[in-house]
Structure 1
């Protein structure tokens, strides 16, 4: 107890570490992308053109390439079979844009070849969403009202589903980046010097997923420290 009416919770340090990691990763990817967004590829391809060419070379004709507003909002939608590229990627001819477009094509190729981690992640999305939405309400009811150790354990399990989703995401993202670099090298869309910049952009982007997973794990650890020992004594 530090002063009247104030309680110091040392587990907040875990939340702080997670937040700092996420902020660092976000700043890193933005600065790295900004740097290589100014380096134009010798091929002259835009992000959209590179994506269309990669998909064609892979024999994938059922995926549309569309523009989406925002900055670095690029993603592949496996349900709609649509690859969406952001403002800074779709029409840009930079090595950063081509790299990001190739990464999203990596996801489309994963979908086409039934890459198991992608299938598992897609199937796990509703479980993770529901789990993260109901985890805190269940924990609070279990702790403050019912004083039920069982409810607390269920809440922790629901929160863990979100953590597990972050961990499942890692191999999917790393594999998509590896596919992107390999394709860009084999097709000659980018030369070796340009590939160095692309690797840095994709590595920085991957760190955002690593940071998100680390932050989730730290939050889970904090919940275990706070609520894990609250077994009801009869």
Structure 2
């Protein structure tokens, strides 16, 4: 029981909720991947149109392997779309592509939250790989200082997830605004589908934040109990 903190049940509850949310995203994405968008535009088509409309004609749209591996690369300035999005004219593909271009627009306008997330990403990735080991070493060796270093690293991860929320919500807001303004969803059903896909994706980020919060509270409780 040495490695179980006071919030371990909360972590388990959030984990189960996260799995349910991931399943909901998969089902929602799959459902609307079977529905062709009224404009018959592939994800690549939508991304190109939205980029050009926002003065980002120099940003390329690339196809990448994997499922739901779509992302915007702020280093290389590229929009990268998965196989199920790049060349597919579905409602899901349209929504996901527009969301990734939303990140490109954020980069163009130098959105503070996006810039902060970019600066935090690499050091926090390294820190989070070390955090569990430092925590366990501190408990085993009875070194309270190491435990508190682990707490700080878990807190930094929580900050990263907190900053991620407005970035992702804003990208989806930009995506839906563009699709609606240019009538690319084509119908209330298409609009509903795009909204459903992006809402399901947003819930996964909320779940990520909830898990980071539960883990932070857990290690904080462990540290306090040993101080």
TM-score tier by shorter-chain length is: over 0.9
List per-residue Cα deviations over 1:110-160 (Å, max 9, x = no partner). 001111110010011123112212212222232222x23222211110121
Instruction: Give the superposition deviation at 1:187.
Output: 1.4
Q: Secondary structure at the match of 1:44?
A: coil
What runs of 5+ residues in structure 2 fail to find an aligned partner?
Answer: none
Match of 2:154 among 156, 159, 179: 159
Q: Secondary structure at the match of 2:62?
A: strand
Query: Which structure has the larger Rg over C-alpha atoms?
Result: 1
Q: Does residue 1:218 correspond to 2:214, yes or no?
A: yes
Q: Does residue 1:84 correspond to 2:80, yes or no?
A: yes
Q: Is the 8 A contact 2:135 2:150 kept in 1?
A: yes
List per-residue Cα deviations over 1:69-121 (Å, max 9, x = no partner). 11111000000111111111111111111010000000000001111110010
Instruction: Give the RMSD, CA atoms, in angstroms.
Output: 1.7
Moved over 6 A (4+): 7-10
Instruction: Quote the Cα distance in structure 1 between the aligned partners of 2:154 and 2:123.
Output: 10
Larger displacement relative to structure 2 (128-137 or 96-105)? 128-137
Q: Give the match for residue 22 of structure 1.
A: 18
Q: Give the match for residue 176 of structure 2.
A: 181
Q: 1:39-54 residue pairs with structure 2 within 5 A? A: 39-54=35-50
What runs of 5+ residues in structure 1 fail to find an aligned partner?
Answer: 2-6
Q: Does residue 1:131 correspond to 2:127, yes or no?
A: yes
Q: Does residue 1:197 correspond to 2:193, yes or no?
A: yes
Q: Is the 8 A contact 2:165 2:206 kept in 1?
A: yes
Instruction: Quote the Cα distance in structure 1 between the aligned partners of 2:5 and 2:157.
Output: 24
Q: Secondary structure at the match of 1:84?
A: strand
Q: Is the 8 A contact 1:32 1:200 kept in 2?
A: yes
Structure 2 length as normaliser, TM-score?
0.94
